[in-house]
């Protein structure tokens, strides 16, 4: 089986999973965080070097205040519960996004998690939290202007170096659960040549078997990056 270097996941469908069971939406988000632990462990076992998860977008602030508050508490709880194990298993945590509007306690926990795991190399776990692809591009351009780059210095490589994912390979495979077919402002630059895999499985039901099916799909793809099949051969 072909193992991609970098897998990214839009973890969609928590709310619908809960509604189908007559539960509050937050119960679906809790189930989603429980499932995330299993998927992270499996990615480590498969030697996937980079995993990016879409945890909370810049647009998610528009959701009902009680749901937003609950999501913040869930992330805080997950960091408290999982950080020790992630660190012991060699997982490096990186935060993609910014902390504007996030409560200071959670910002501190995110900062501590990033610092504690900064020397790990088994796998990089990118947590896209308070993240939006367009917002990322705007902030990158602002930093480029602030740093005074000359016009000839502005290249694809230099722009990539100003993104949150600087120093990492672009995702080879992006997975979206729950049957939706859109990118939702996720990795709009980095995903230019990614293979996309869409599944009807809701995120809490996306188990190791579902991950395996996504990887089988990826292994069958011919990645040409603008070349012809004959050139690749």
Annotated catalytic residue, options 60, 89, 120, 161: 60
Active site residue 103: no
53 Cβ neighbours under 8 A, 6+ residues apart? 8, 9, 11, 36, 125, 126, 127, 128
Active site residue 60: yes
Strand residues in the chain grouped as ranges (E): 6-10, 50-57, 91-96, 123-131, 173-176, 195-198
User: Tokens 């462990």 sit at which residue?
Assistant: 41
- In 3D space, the residue among 220, 137, 161, 166 whose CA is nearest the CA of residue 50 turns out to be 166
d(CA 128, CA 50): 13
Annotated catalytic residue, options 12, 126, 170, 172: 12
Which residues are known catalytic residues?
Answer: 12, 60
């Amino acid at each position: 089986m072909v193992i991609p270097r970098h897998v990214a996941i839009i973890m969609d469908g928590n709310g619908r999973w809960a509604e189908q069971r007559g539960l509050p939406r937050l119960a679906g988000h809790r189930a989603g965080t429980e499932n995330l632990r299993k998927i992270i462990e499996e990615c480590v076992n498969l030697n996937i070097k980079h995993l990016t998860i879409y945890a909370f977008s810049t647009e998610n602030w528009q959701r009902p205040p009680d749901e937003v508050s609950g999501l913040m508490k869930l992330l805080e709880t997950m960091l408290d519960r999982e950080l020790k194990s992630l660190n012991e298993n060699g997982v490096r945590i990186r935060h993609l996004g910014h902390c504007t509007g996030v409560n200071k306690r959670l910002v501190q926990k995110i900062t501590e998690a990033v610092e504690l795991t900064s020397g790990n190399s088994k796998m990089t776990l990118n947590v896209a939290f308070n993240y939006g692809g367009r917002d990322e591009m705007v902030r990158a351009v602002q930093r480029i202007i602030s740093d005074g780059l000359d016009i000839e210095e502005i290249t694809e490589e230099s722009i990539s170096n100003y993104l949150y994912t600087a120093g990492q390979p672009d995702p080879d495979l992006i997975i979206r659960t729950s049957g939706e077919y859109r990118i939702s402002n996720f990795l709009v630059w980095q995903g230019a040549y990614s293979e996309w895999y869409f599944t009807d499985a809701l995120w809490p039901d996306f188990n190791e078997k579902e991950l395996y099916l996504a990887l089988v799909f990826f292994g069958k793809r011919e990645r040409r990056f603008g070349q012809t099949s004959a050139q690749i051969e």
